[in-house]
């Protein structure tokens, strides 16, 4: 008999309990003793682990202090932004992950600019080498966030098409638009004209009809993008 492989346990350092603790921390505005206890007992470890994981994942290159000191800077930034997290506006993990990544990107690139100003012309090769290392993590972070947004956005629209579009031709066009986003990693040419042709081939509809449906989707698309930037999630209800 074949032995069943044990399922790997997920790293659950940032859980629903952590999110509940953050909400409780924000509501406890008067008693600092209780606030500090909530943070120390139920939030601190999750923030420290989140900062550590993001640092290890994106391999930022330009820091003037130690890895541990940068980690604590990130944690301090998370704490200072904790009051901005709103209950019911997305998951705390996504929200604070974005805050940590954005902080590190700005910190890293700010240090790189300082390095450039103080590097002589004779060190041109060194500057070029470090430039690649410096900007790669920022680009990787943006790509990861875009990929995450695309996934959440497609899930959102999959559940909205039938409600928003009552006529079948419009539903077909909207579904084709969603399919384009679903396949975005495999589409090389992402200019407007090429996408319109791609959707026309999928639906056999005229450009005017496609423009009308896209215009109807655009307002909602702007709203969910703003929601994602603020909360790190897109509400599905």
Q: What's the rounded Cα separation, in Å, for the pair 104 and 137?
A: 10
Q: What pLDDT does residue 40 have?
A: 93
Tell me the pLDDT tens digit for each residue of 80-116. Answer: 889 989 888 788 998 898 888 888 877 666 554 544 4
Q: Which pLDDT value is given to residue 112?
A: 47
CA nearest to 46, candidates 83, 75, 24, 26: 75
| Nearest alpha-carbon partner for 86 in 18, 168, 19 | 19
* Domains defined along the chain, listed by start: 16-118 (1.10.1740), 153-231 (no CATH)
- What per-residue confidence (pLDDT) applies to 199? 85
pTM: 0.47
What's residue 190's pLDDT?
57
pLDDT at res. 8: 42
Distance, CA of 50 to chain centre: 14
Contacts for 175-181: CB closer than 8 Å, 24+ residues apart? 176/202, 176/203, 177/213, 177/214, 177/217, 178/154, 181/150, 181/153, 181/154, 181/157
pLDDT beneath 50, residues of the chain: 1-3, 5-10, 112, 114-138
For residue 146 the two structure tokens come to: 């875009």
């Amino acid at each position: 008999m074949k032995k069943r492989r044990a399922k790997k346990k997920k790293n659950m350092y940032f859980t629903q309990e952590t999110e509940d603790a953050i909400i409780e921390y924000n509501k406890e505005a008067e008693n600092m003793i209780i606030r500090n206890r909530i943070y120390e007992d139920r939030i601190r470890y999750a923030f420290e682990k989140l900062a550590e994981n993001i640092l290890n994942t994106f391999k930022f290159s330009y820091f003037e202090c130690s890895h541990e000191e940068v980690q604590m800077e990130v944690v301090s930034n998370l704490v200072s932004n904790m009051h901005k997290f709103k209950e019911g506006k997305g998951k705390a993990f996504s929200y604070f992950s974005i805050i940590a990544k954005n902080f590190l990107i700005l910190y890293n690139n700010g240090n790189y600019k300082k390095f450039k100003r103080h590097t002589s012309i004779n060190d041109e090769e060194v500057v070029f080498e470090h430039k690649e290392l410096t900007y790669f993590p920022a680009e990787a972070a943006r790509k990861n966030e875009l990929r995450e947004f695309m996934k959440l956005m497609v899930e959102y629209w999959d559940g909205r098409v039938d409600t928003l579009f009552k006529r079948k031709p419009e539903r077909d066009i909207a579904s084709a638009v969603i399919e384009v986003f679903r396949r975005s990693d495999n589409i090389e040419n992402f200019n407007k004209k090429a996408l319109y042709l791609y959707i026309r081939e999928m639906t056999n509809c005229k450009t005017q009809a496609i423009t009308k449906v896209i215009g109807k989707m655009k307002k909602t698309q702007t709203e969910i993008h703003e929601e994602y930037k603020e909360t790190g999630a897109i509400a599905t209800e």
